[in-house]
């Protein structure tokens, strides 16, 4: 109980400290000038390309996994609705109901049961991590020579790159071992997934409630994860994930253009992907403070001023809030319709 309380306090305290430090070191006048000179049309285009498109693509990826891996037919618009509402609940509502918990709870009740839907989302996360890691591995050698300001952060990035390389090799070795049917490796993966399965079930029963439906197929965990280790599925999902990261970075490029700043697309791809992985770690509420600091430090390596980077961070945050708020609107409209029916 104490750990949970400390974690919640830290999630609010960390961004407050970081924002205090950040605003103490920037020129507020230059920040205001940068924000006041934003091209609204370019900003809107960057928001659509870099943020809203990601929701539609993520819903398609989810549908592809359920349909192609498990022959579970759930209409695209329903999965899109679950995803968007889950994003709103996970970001705005202080109930601890994460996006993925909501997705599992709703999709499982619709079709397939909890076991299949939990494994589907865990596998999806694995593909996201694999694709993002590969993109960082490919991009770093190209952006390394573009670094113009070495403040010591490059050593941290080098360390992250090394860790990513090791993690990638471990992940590939696990994929190969499972594909070749190594019993020990298969059992370890299945045991780890069973623990995750039990953990997610506990979270769902605590925060959402409801009866667990395992599905009528009686598939084991080994059967359920086997589609994730087929080479054609790996290729499709990793390629699609890399494409999503590139599209997201293109949206970031347009937002920098709205700030009248030119950033090479390869830099945006690398930095945006690295920040995507950093933001997966829940160390602050809504990535506040972490987001702003990451923009200033990482883009600062390539000669972008702190004020411009912070302005881009604020525009990105506004885009994220706008995108996520749509889930709240969908939920509100849905509740009104249910009450009037």
- What range does the domain containing 189 cover? 39-336
pLDDT tens, N- to C-terminus, the chain (341 residues): 444 454 555 555 555 565 555 666 777 788 888 888 899 999 999 999 999 999 999 999 999 999 999 889 999 999 999 999 999 987 765 444 578 888 888 888 878 788 888 888 888 988 888 888 888 888 888 887 787 766 555 666 666 667 667 766 766 666 666 656 555 455 666 666 667 666 666 666 665 555 555 554 466 777 777 888 788 888 899 899 999 999 999 999 999 999 999 898 999 998 888 888 777 765 555 566 677 778 888 888 888 888 899 899 999 999 999 999 999 999 888 888 777 65
Q: Which residue has the tokens 């945050």?
A: 317
In a domain, 4, yes or no: no
What's the confidence (pLDDT) of residue 61? 94
Q: How many domains does the chain have?
A: 1
Two structure tokens written together for 178 = 């499972």
Q: How far apart are CA 48 and CA 53, in angstroms?
A: 6
In a domain, 12, yes or no: no
- The answer to whether residues 305 and 30 touch, using CB atoms and an 8 Å cutoff, is yes
Task: Report in angstroms the alpha-carbon separations of 155 from 119, 161, 197, 224, 289.
Answer: 36, 10, 37, 40, 22
In a domain, 17, yes or no: no
What's the confidence (pLDDT) of residue 3? 42
If one counts every other C-beta atom within 10 angstroms of the C-beta of residue 53, the result is 17
What's the confidence (pLDDT) of residue 24? 62
What's the confidence (pLDDT) of residue 112? 78
Q: How far apart are CA 304 and CA 290, in angstroms?
A: 18
In a domain, 327, yes or no: yes
In a domain, 164, yes or no: yes
What's the confidence (pLDDT) of residue 255? 95
Kindly give, in sequence order, each residue whose CB lies less than 8 Å from that of residue 102, ignoring residues fewer than 6 positions away.
Answer: 82, 85, 86, 89, 90, 208
Please provide the DSSP assignment of 35-79 as one string. Answer: HHT--HHHHHHHHIIIIIHHHHHHHHHHHHIIIIIH-----HHHH
What's the confidence (pLDDT) of residue 171? 66
What's the confidence (pLDDT) of residue 49? 95
Kindly give, in sequence order, each residue whose CB lies less than 8 Å from that of residue 1, ignoring residues fewer than 6 positions away.
Answer: none
With CA atoms as reference, report the closest residue to 252 among 235, 234, 233, 274: 274
- The answer to whether residues 195 and 95 touch, using CB atoms and an 8 Å cutoff, is no
In a domain, 171, yes or no: yes
Global pTM value? 0.80
In a domain, 113, yes or no: yes
In a domain, 45, yes or no: yes
């Amino acid at each position: 109980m104490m750990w949970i309380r400390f974690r919640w306090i830290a999630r609010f305290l960390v961004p407050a400290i970081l924002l205090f430090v950040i605003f103490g070191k920037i020129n507020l006048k230059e920040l205001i000038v940068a924000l006041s000179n934003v091209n609204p049309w370019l900003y809107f285009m960057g928001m659509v390309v870099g943020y809203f498109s990601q929701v539609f693509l993520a819903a398609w990826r989810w549908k592809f996994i359920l349909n192609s891996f498990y022959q579970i037919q759930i209409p695209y618009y329903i999965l899109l609705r679950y995803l968007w509402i889950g994003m709103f609940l996970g970001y705005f509502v202080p109930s601890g109901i994460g996006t993925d918990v909501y997705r599992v709870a709703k999709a499982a009740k619709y079709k397939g049961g909890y076991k299949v839907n939990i494994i589907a989302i865990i596998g999806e996360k694995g593909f996201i991590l694999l694709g993002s890691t590969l993109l960082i591995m490919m991009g770093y050698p190209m952006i390394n020579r573009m670094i113009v300001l070495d403040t010591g952060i490059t050593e941290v990035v080098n360390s992250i790159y090394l860790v990513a390389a090791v993690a990638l090799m471990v992940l590939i070795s696990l994929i190969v071992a499972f594909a070749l049917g190594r019993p020990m490796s298969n059992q370890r993966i299945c045991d780890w997934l069973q623990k995750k399965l039990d953990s997610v079930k506990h979270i769902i029963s605590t925060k959402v409630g409801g009866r667990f439906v395992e599905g009528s197929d009686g598939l084991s965990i080994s059967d359920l994860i086997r589609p994730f280790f087929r080479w054609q599925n790996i290729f499709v999902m990793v390629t699609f994930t890399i494409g999503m990261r590139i599209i997201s970075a293109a949206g970031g490029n347009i937002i920098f253009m709205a700030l009248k700043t030119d950033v090479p697309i390869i830099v945006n791809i690398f930095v945006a992907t690295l920040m995507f992985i950093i933001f997966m770690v829940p160390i602050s509420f809504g990535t506040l403070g972490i987001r702003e600091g990451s923009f200033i430090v990482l883009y600062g390596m390539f000669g972008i001023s702190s004020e411009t980077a912070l302005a881009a961070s604020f525009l990105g945050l506004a885009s994220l809030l706008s995108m996520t708020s749509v889930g709240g609107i969908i939920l509100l409209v849905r509740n009104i319709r249910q009450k009037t029916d």
